[in-house]
Structure 1
Amino acid sequence: MNIDIDTQNLIETVTELSVTYGVKILLALAVFIIGQKIAKWVSKLCLKAMELKKIDPTINQFTKNIVYYSLYTMVVIAALGQLGVQTASFVAIIGAAGLAVGFALQGSLANFASGVLLILFRPIKVGDYVEVAGTSGTVKEISIFSTILLTPDNKTVISSNSAVMGGNIINYSTEKTRRVDLVVGVSYSSDLALVKSELEAIAQSDDRILKDKDWTIGVSELADSSVNFVFRVWVNTPDYWAVYFYLNEAVKTNFDKKGIEIPFPQMDVHLDKQAA
């Protein structure tokens, strides 16, 4: 008789626990599955909205991931709450663990923070020709931890984002126009008026040189063996190097035709004959 009573009590207890915790487990699973789908839907919606506004692809993916994982974390905490887990203590544990991991990964976190700043403030973007972390090249990719550059001789350079943000950033692609600066040296016997007129003619001869911006031609220095002229013209940024090379060649060619001497360093050696 006692066995039957104990068995009956056990069955009632198991049934009660099954009903109580079964409902909680079902609710937790429902919260997790539905919440995860909502997180994916919201993150994809954010991505489509940013793509419609033609925001930089790097920012799009970064924002999508941040939105998804933030919502996913909230869903997990909500599901655990349905199981009766004290979420406040759980969040505290996560915070403590995150702090410990943060101390262990200070360098990576610095790169991550710099990546966030690069994406938010956009001092550089994909396709820009820049000089960062001691390297010049075209920005190929900006990720969360590193920036990838492609150099003019087709080398791939990967720089940490902390190194990029920790130094000077020179972006050659930000402005639509750039100034080409040359220093042209001529001999002291040269006709300075003729030199200036020839430089003017060179500037007029190339359509890539912007005529609506004043160029500068003038004597900048009376050097040891030459009179130095500054020759500065404005061009559209994509034409910079082509015009730079053209001007150097044109100066040499035109000056040779006009007999204008471009001096080079010379040394005079005087020998004194000593009496025997």
Structure 2
Amino acid sequence: KMLSNLIAGLVIQTDRPIRVGDFVDIGGTNGFVSQVGLRSIKLETISSLITLPNAKADESNINNYMLTEKDSNGNTCRVYLINLSSSQQLIHSHEHIYKIADELKAHLSSEPLIKRYVLIAKPAVIDAPAKFVCKIFTTATNWVEHDAIVTNYNNLFAALEVKYPGREPGPEKILMLQPSS
């Protein structure tokens, strides 16, 4: 086992499919890579620190969610995707939806760890709340940074629902068609 871990460790060190700080999925375990050694890989998951033998990692599918791109200064940075989707609980006017979207965009633009984002506002349809779909590309390298981004976004989103009051959705309406006799 030790020899297979060492050989797999050399392959991982040579091929470099993952680096410290990457957000990865190795054999169904998601986490930030905190160490890549000759015998094992340490992943910081949302609940614990996991040590995976290199042989197991080498045999598993490794999904590295990091992308290498240049920032505005030409520096290379590693970014990964976080999906921040939210459904509003209230029905807002189109004007309020645009104002909420503008404030969310201003917030996302001011976050230093967010490199780029896509925010889509889907307006309310027939007495149903609107939906905001937000995907961000971030350079967060640990769960503290990751959770801070998600928490700040969700807190702002909740505050905007209060700032731009809407109305409660009505009961679900069902249209029944009856054949004529």
The one-letter code sitting in structure 1 at the alignment partner of 2:120 is I
- 1:215 aligns with 118
8 Å CA contact 1:146–1:160 kept in 2: the answer is: yes
Instruction: Indicate which of 159, 162, 165 corresponds to 1:256.
Output: 162
Report 1:165-204 matches (<5 A): 165-172=58-65, 175=68, 176-186=78-88, 189-204=91-106
Whether the 8 Å CA contact 1:216–1:232 is kept in 2: the answer is: yes
Say which of 108, 116, 131 aligns to 1:228: 131
For 1:203 and 1:243, locate their aligned partners in 2 and report how far apart those are by CA, in whole Å: 14
Larger Rg: 1
Partner of 2:73: none
Deviations 1:139-180 (A, max 9, x none): 343333332334454x44221222212223233555433444
- 1:262 and 1:183 mapped to 2: Cα distance? 20
Matches within 5 A, 1:25-44: none
Deviations 1:29-84 (A, max 9, x none): xxxxxxxxxxxxxxxxxxxxxxxxxxxxxxxxxxxxxxxxxxxxxxxxxxxxxxxx
Shift, 1:250, TM fit? 0.6
TM-score w.r.t. length of structure 1 = 0.45
Q: Distance in 1 between matches of 2:157 and 2:148?
A: 14
1:119 to partner: Cα distance: 1.1
Tell me the TM-score normalised to structure 2 length.
0.64
Q: May I ask how many residue pairs the two structures share in their alignment? A: 159
> Counterpart of 1:159?
52
Relative to structure 1, the CA distance from residue 189 to residue 130 in structure 2 (aligned partners, 3 Å threshold; closer, same or farther) is closer
Task: State the secondary structure of the residue aligned to 2:20.
Answer: coil
Aligned partner of residue 215 in structure 1, secondary structure: strand
Secondary structure class of the residue paired with 1:237: coil
Local SS of the residue matching 1:120: helix
Q: Is the 8 A contact 1:178 1:234 kept in 2?
A: yes
| Deviation of the 1:123 alpha carbon | 1.1
- Offset of 1:127 from its aligned partner? 4.2
Q: CA deviation at 1:197?
A: 2.2
- Which amino acid counterpart does residue 168 of structure 1 have in structure 2? N
The structure-2 alpha-carbon separation of the partners of 1:258 and 1:140, relative to structure 1 and needing over 3 Å to count, comes to closer
2:148 is paired with a residue whose SS is: helix
Whichever residue aligns with residue 231 of structure 1, its letter is C
Counterpart secondary structure, 1:111: helix
Identify which of 8, 14, 17 aligns with 1:120: 14
Q: Which has the higher helix share?
A: 1
For residue 197 of structure 1, give the secondary structure of its aligned residue in structure 2: helix
Residue of structure 2 in register with 1:142 after alignment: 36
In 2, the alpha carbon distance for the partners of 1:191 and 1:209 equals 31
- Write 1 or 2 for the structure with the bigger share of strand: 2
Could you give the per-residue CA deviations for residues 222-263 of structure 1, whole angstroms, max 9, x where no partner exists?
699543231334444355432221111111111112113586
Aligned alpha-carbon RMSD (Å): 3.8
CA–CA separation in structure 2 for the residues paired with 1:227 and 1:188: 8
2:35 counterpart SS class = strand
Deviations 1:113-137 (A, max 9, x none): 3222101111123344433233334
Please state whether the residue corresponding to 2:105 is helix, strand or coil.
Answer: helix
